[in-house]
Amino acid sequence: MIISVNWLKKYLQSDVDIDELTNLIGARLVEIESVTNLAEKYQSPVIAKVVECVAHPDSDHLHVCQIDDGGVVNDAPRNDDGYIQVVCGAPNVRKSLMVAWLPPGSIVPESYGTSDEFSLSSRKLRGVMSHGMLASPRELDLWNEHEGIMEISGDIAKPGMKLCDYLQLDDYLLEVENKSLTHRPDCFGVIGFAREVAAIMGGSARIPDWINNLDGDITSDEVSVVPSVKIVDSSLCSRYECIVLDNVDSSRNLPDDLRSLIGRVGVNSISAPVDITNYLMLDSGQPLHAFDLDKVMEVSPTGAADIVVRAAAKGETLELLDGRTINLDPADIVVAVGDQSNSVPIALAGAMGGMATEITRGTKRVLLESATFDLYHLRGTQFRHGVFSEAITRFTKGQPSPLTRPVLLQAVQMLKDYAGAKVISDIAEDYPLKPVKTEFEIPVARFTDVLGCYDDSGKVSAYSSDMIVETLTNLQYSDVSVKNESVKAVAPWWRTDQHIAEDVIEDIGRVTGFDNIAPDSPLRRYVAAPYNQLYERQMWLRDRLCKAGGNEVMSYSFIHGDLLDSVHDDKSQAYRIVNAISPDLQYYRRDILPSLIERARDNLRAGYDNFMLFELGKVHRRGLMDDTEPNLPAELSEVAGIVVDKAKHADSALYVVKKIVNYVLNLGDELKYVRLDKYSGQLDSSTNVYEPLRSAVLLIDGRYIGVVGELRNDVRQRFKLPEFVAGFSLMLGGLLSYIDRDIEYTPVSRYQGTSRDITYQVSNEVDYADVYSFTRRVLVDKLPDHIVAEVSPRDIYATSDGKRNITLHIDFHDLTKTIDAKLVGKVMDRLAKQSSNELNAHVI
């Protein structure tokens, strides 16, 4: 919303410096997004009088004019009479006209501040010298009219007067942030805004009397039409009133200064009747709507202006002013005509009028509406039908119903004054839901209990009753008094935002300055906050992955359905966003790895050859519900990674990620791997990305942790990944309880140990883990407790005849004495013998 400071100042008692004003507004009312000094744009235009106007000798539409600028512009070439020659192509240029002249060297206001500023000069137009130009309202950036040059009509205008002075363009425009005024319908009008600003400056606003004329009425010049109003449901519309005017002259215009006032805040000036409704809306916050009475009566089933405000019926349609025909929803409010059993919609209430009752140039009789509609219904309508106008912006804040009357009366007055209208009906009104007075009784101490203490230049004290009373009075609360240490007050009728004590406390804190509250510290018991275990573990995993050489990535939680398809996942099992920005962001990810695959592809393309990307995040799988909040989807914490190398390797990528996972988790023999195709448990469809013959399910204590492995060939090819690529997807839920496990400490032996290698020849059906765990088991079984044996892999060799030679290295230590080599020999024999039975192995 744009606020004109000059407009605002009309209602302030005292003048105020612009910097102080904007500081105060910013700190105590609403954030100002920008301040525009309008005067900069209007330094040059000067009012001049056309004293001579003759046809250009070499053109059928140009005129050569001599203008009188009162002699104020320096450096302009003048004729002997002191006039300046300007060539003008506007059809309305004529002798004696008062015009706005842009002297040479000035910038056309319409182009001011754009990247394409247009600067005027003295130059020949078809052989005749022209100095500067005579400008249209559009060129002057006043309002959008360009049929001819601006005709200046105000009494005060005289040659040599600056246009800036004539229209009070020495103004500042404040662009304020609407969002923080969502609850303040009153501040969507300059009058309401001024009330606040005045209170912030420590006084009261000088508000025009008409706005408080809540019970005023009007005497009609003659009663020739009798409109009626019926509100069917007061929860849709608390008040609707209207009046009929005749003789409304749409060819007239408001005075230039009013036209320029609404123009500068972004509302185009069109004609006096339209401008009056807009001006009053901007001034008061109350939108008005006008219907062509004769058209209303024509469509009315009763033949009369019988207004019915009701919910739209299913199946009803309405052609709007913008030409669209919409299907009405039962949650829309319509203004209809007829009787309660049969009425025809003529407007989408609060949003837009209907085409059938549109005001046109020929309209003479006007039905003028002033009403209050339910803001929640209107907001639904706004989004359903895509209506975003100044009027609905105000209606959806919930304008107070008492406001409809004074604004209607003022509109009638202005239409009489400026558009020649006369009143031909009484006011018709239905007002089923009157607001109740909001009275407050709040203990004085409560203000300090909520806000803290007030810091008056270093003097810190509680909020005093004097201060509270003065501020409420400035804000025009009524019946303000203090009794028994409590403040009593009645909120002004326009403050629809005041409901509870906190709302009044907010007024006091804000208007006296939140920045004057003394910062304090809460007292609390000196106990340490507990760590978040999940977070601590996640950070620990990140650090380990980093130490393994990884780069942490964050990728979007939403992915393309095609990505799920291309990794063979089931997208029907992913949550789908119905209003996604693009197909790229349509599904919740079910696993992090596919996003990493895409990132790996991009980084390879960018020239990186060898890297690991990893990410910790949440994934969501449709149908899986949360343990503690069963109405909501489960949130699975995952850690995933991908390792790629463009270089050729003799080795399999699987073993690299395995090594990384083993290192990161640091759980030694507790990690068990089972080839994906041999795993008997249920696998989620997200694991389809892995090649089953070259990937493993990771288990701890038989519990599923995730998958580690190489990608399917087609996935690898589709994403143009090199042959050496593997990934992992681990679910933290299963993992966390194990990471914290205490280690089992064995003392360091002080005695000399010994080591042996053993090579088992087994069939290639036998897994390394079979051999390894067999060895561990036999050693534990056969060795006394004081002898420790550590087993590590040394070599695996595939023989040409389809056998595997698996070599393990065993370190023996006796904690009590130097190791007994005979005992070691016996155990080694035992391994050879037992392995032949259990593994069908041959020790070589």
Partner 1 sequence: MKIDDVRDLLMGRLSELKNPHDILKAPELKALLGQIKDVPSDERAKFGAAVNSLRQELKQQADQLTQQAEQAAIVPLDVTAPFDDSNEQKVAGRPMLLPVEQATLHPLTVETKQLVDVFTRMGFVCEESRQIDDDFHMFSSLNFPPNHPARDGYDTFRTEEGYIPPAHTTAMENRVLSAGRQQLENGGVIAHISYGRVFRNEDADVTHDHTFNQFEGVYVSRDATLGQMLGMLKDFFETYYGQSLRIKTQPGYFPFTEPSLEFQIEKPAALGGGGKGGEWLEMLGCGMLHPNVLKAAGIDPTKYQGFAWGGGLERLVMLKYGIEDLRHFESGKLAFLRKFRG
Helix (H, G, I), strand (E, B) or coil at 704: strand
Site for partner 1 contains 578 (CB under 8 A): yes
Site for partner 1 contains 53 (CB under 8 A): no
Site for partner 1 contains 602 (CB under 8 A): yes
Site for partner 1 contains 451 (CB under 8 A): yes
Helix (H, G, I), strand (E, B) or coil at 395: helix
One-letter identity of residue 466: D
Q: Write the CB contacts of 540 (distance below 8 Å, at least 6 apart in sequence).
A: 739
Annotate 749-806 with DSSP letters as a single string: P-S--EEEEEEEEEETTS-HHHHHHHHHHHHHHHS-TTEEEEEEEEEEEE-TTSEEEE
DSSP 8-state assignment for residue 584: G
Pairing between β-strand 550-552 and β-strand 610-619 as defined by DSSP bridges: parallel
- Of 368 and 656, which has the nearer Cβ to partner 1? 656
Site for partner 1 contains 838 (CB under 8 A): no
Closest separation between CB of residue 639 and partner 1, Å? 13
Q: Write the CB contacts of 645 (distance below 8 Å, at least 6 apart in sequence).
A: 609, 610, 653, 722, 724, 725
Helix (H, G, I), strand (E, B) or coil at 320: strand
Site for partner 1 contains 642 (CB under 8 A): no
* Sites for partner 1 among residues 237-296 (CB under 8 A): none
- Of 418 and 558, which has the nearer Cβ to partner 1? 558
Closest separation between CB of residue 453 and partner 1, Å? 6
Q: Which helix (H) or strand (E) holds 551?
A: strand 550-552
Query: In this structure, are residues 679 and 666 in contact, taking their beta carbons and an 8 Å threshold?
Result: no
* Dihedral pair phi/psi, residue 822, rounded to 5°: -65, -40
Residues in contact with partner 1, shown as a per-residue x/- string from 643 to 682 under the rule CB under 8 A? x-----xxxx-xxx-xxx--x--------xxxxx------
Closest separation between CB of residue 183 and partner 1, Å? 5
Site for partner 1 contains 524 (CB under 8 A): yes
* Sites for partner 1 among residues 753-782 (CB under 8 A): 767-770, 772
* Sites for partner 1 among residues 14-33 (CB under 8 A): 26-31
* Sites for partner 1 among residues 671-730 (CB under 8 A): 672-676, 691, 693-696, 708-709, 713
- Of 92 and 603, which has the nearer Cβ to partner 1? 603
Residues in contact with partner 1, shown as a per-residue x/- string from 366 to 405 under the rule CB under 8 A? ---------xxx-xx---------------xx--------
Q: How many CB atoms lie within 10 A of CB 833?
A: 12
Closest separation between CB of residue 211 and partner 1, Å? 24
Closest separation between CB of residue 385 and partner 1, Å? 14
Alpha-carbon distance 465 to 442, whole Å? Answer: 11
Closest separation between CB of residue 774 and partner 1, Å? 12
* Radius of gyration for the chain, computed over Cα atoms and rounded to the nearest angstrom: 42
Scanning 33-41, 115-123, 588-596, 778-786 for contacts with partner 1 by CB under 8 A, the matching segment is: 588-596
Question: Can you tell me which of 92, 603, 754, 759 binds partner 1, judged by CB under 8 A?
Answer: 603
Q: Dig out the tokens for 169 from the structure.
A: 């363009």
Site for partner 1 contains 450 (CB under 8 A): yes
Closest separation between CB of residue 554 and partner 1, Å? 5
Q: Mind spelling out the 3-state secondary structure of 411-453?
A: HHHHHHHHHCCEECCCCEEECCCCCCCCEEEEEHHHHHHHHCC
Alpha-carbon distance 420 to 759, whole Å? Answer: 112
Site for partner 1 contains 797 (CB under 8 A): yes
Site for partner 1 contains 532 (CB under 8 A): yes
Site for partner 1 contains 540 (CB under 8 A): no
Alpha-carbon distance 51 to 86, whole Å? Answer: 11
- Of 242 and 505, which has the nearer Cβ to partner 1? 505
DSSP 8-state assignment for residue 718: H
Question: Can you tell me which of 72, 611, 756, 834 binds partner 1, judged by CB under 8 A?
Answer: 611
- Of 297 and 444, which has the nearer Cβ to partner 1? 444
Closest separation between CB of residue 547 and partner 1, Å? 6
Q: Dig out the tokens for 221 from the structure.
A: 């010049």
- Of 210 and 611, which has the nearer Cβ to partner 1? 611
β-bridge partners, 129: 124
* Sites for partner 1 among residues 803-832 (CB under 8 A): 804
Q: How many positions of this chain bind partner 1 (CB under 8 A)?
A: 132
Question: What sign has the CA pseudo-torsion 818, 822, 827, 828?
Answer: positive
- Of 413 and 557, which has the nearer Cβ to partner 1? 557
Closest separation between CB of residue 797 and partner 1, Å? 5
Residue 811, burial from CB neighbour count under 10 angstroms (0-12, 13-18, 19+): middle
Q: Write the CB contacts of 335 (distance below 8 Å, at least 6 apart in sequence).
A: 240, 307, 308, 309, 345, 346, 347, 349, 369, 371
* Sites for partner 1 among residues 460-519 (CB under 8 A): 500, 502-503, 505-506, 509-510, 514-515, 517-519
Among residues 675, 692, 686, 706, the alpha carbon closest in space to that of 566 is found at 686
- Of 532 and 816, which has the nearer Cβ to partner 1? 532
Among residues 274, 273, 229, 275, the alpha carbon closest in space to that of 247 is found at 273
Residues in contact with partner 1, shown as a per-residue x/- string from 55 to 94 under the rule CB under 8 A? ----------------------------------------
